[in-house]
Amino acid sequence: MSQSNKKKPLSKMSFEESFEELENLVEKFEEGQLPLDEWIERLERAMQLYEKCSNQLAEAEKKVQKILEKVTPIDDTTKNNLMSGEDEN
């Protein structure tokens, strides 16, 4: 995690910055070498980052759905397949 992101407010971070920091925090958790106080502090930050990324992805999905609906009217099955990355065939 870059030092600039470590203290950067969530509201000022892009999705990519948030996701990168979250990935780095997960790596630290997996290493299992954090003192309890630091683990709790990092867990709080990780949950904030997760919520931010999750919300941004949900908003992006809504935008993609609106774009797809404007381009061509499609039925719900086709739309669900497109959104999930499944092939129609």
Q: What is the pLDDT of residues 15-59, one digit of tens each?
A: 999 999 999 999 999 998 889 999 999 999 999 999 999 999 999
Residue among 9, 1, 7, 6 at smallest CA distance from 52? 9
CB-count exposure of residue 3 (10 Å: 0-12, 13-18, 19+): exposed
More confident residue, 42 or 79: 42
